[in-house]
């Protein structure tokens, strides 16, 4: 009797697991903000535009497109990708600004924290970043946020794109942008 009950429960669990995608899936955690939803949408739009650029380049290389169509489509897809990238940067900047506003809000102070704050010296200002000073150590680091070849997001200080392997040195980036 217990074996039949266990078998029925297992069959029911498997049936629910198999049917879950048909009913909208398993309950997901609620996304915390609309900003995350907007960032996901913009990342998806950027990905579609970059993929379109890759396919367009392939079709052109295979001889499926003439020069006029290729340049028109490339311009529109590049504009679409760049607008999505700039919107992503703006949205992330807004998120950083909101975080900074929260961090800058005055906290409730206790007498002990006021005494501690009075005893600590004020913070010193840092020198400007070395990458902005010509001739300074690290001044040759790439200043790009996105790969000019494939459009993938690139962290500060990377010399090569993690997606396509393109060289991100300032000289290579300038020559790649001139070639387009």
User: What digits encode the pLDDT tens for the residues 100-110?
Assistant: 666 666 655 55
pLDDT at 55: 94
SS (H, E, C) 87-128: HHHHHHHHHHHHHHHHHHCCCCCCHHHHHHHHHCCCCCCCCC
Q: Residue 23: pLDDT above 80?
A: no
d(CA 157, CA 131): 10
d(CA 98, CA 34): 14
pTM (predicted TM-score): 0.41
d(CA 80, CA 42): 11
b/e burial code for range 32-44 (CB count within 10 A of at least 16 → b)? eeeeeeebeebee
pLDDT at 132: 40
Residues 6+ apart with CB under 8 A from 74: 53, 56, 57
pLDDT tens per residue across span 35-72: 888 888 999 999 999 999 999 999 999 999 899 999 99
DSSP code for 54: H
Say which residue, 147 or 179, is predicted with more confidence. 147
Q: Which of 103, 118, 171, 178 is nearest to 140 (CA)?
A: 171
Q: Are 4 and 12 in contact (CB under 8 A)?
A: no
Average pLDDT over residues 5-17: 93
d(CA 21, CA 138): 51
Q: Residue 13: pLDDT above 70?
A: yes
Q: Which range is least confidently modeled, 15-29, 110-124, 127-141, 165-179?
A: 127-141
pLDDT at 58: 92
d(CA 76, CA 91): 22
Residue 85, classified by CB atoms within 10 Å of its CB into exposed (0-12), middle (13-18) or buried (19+), is buried
DSSP character string of 18-33:
HHGGGGT-SPPPPPS-
Average pLDDT over the chain reads 74
What confidence category does residue 130 fall into, taking pLDDT thresholds of 50, 70 and 90? very low
d(CA 168, CA 174): 9
pLDDT at 164: 84
What confidence category does residue 8 fall into, taking pLDDT thresholds of 50, 70 and 90? very high
């Amino acid at each position: 009797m217990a074996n039949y009950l266990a078998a029925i429960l297992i069959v029911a669990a498997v049936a629910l697991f198999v049917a879950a995608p048909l009913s909208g899936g398993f309950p997901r955690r609620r996304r915390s903000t609309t900003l995350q939803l907007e960032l996901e949408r913009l990342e998806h739009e950027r990905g579609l535009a970059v993929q379109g650029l890759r396919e367009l380049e392939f079709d052109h290389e295979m001889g499926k497109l003439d020069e006029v169509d290729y340049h028109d489509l490339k311009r529109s897809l590049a504009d679409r990708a760049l607008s999505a990238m700039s919107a992503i940067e703006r949205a992330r900047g807004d998120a950083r600004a909101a975080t900074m506003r929260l961090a800058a809000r005055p906290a409730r102070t206790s007498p002990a924290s006021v005494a501690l704050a009075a005893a600590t010296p004020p913070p010193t200002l840092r020198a400007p970043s070395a990458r902005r000073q010509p001739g300074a150590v690290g001044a040759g680091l790439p200043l790009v946020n996105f790969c000019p070849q494939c459009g993938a997001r690139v962290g500060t200080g990377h010399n090569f794109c993690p997606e396509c392997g393109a060289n991100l040195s300032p000289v290579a980036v300038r020559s790649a942008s001139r070639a387009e």
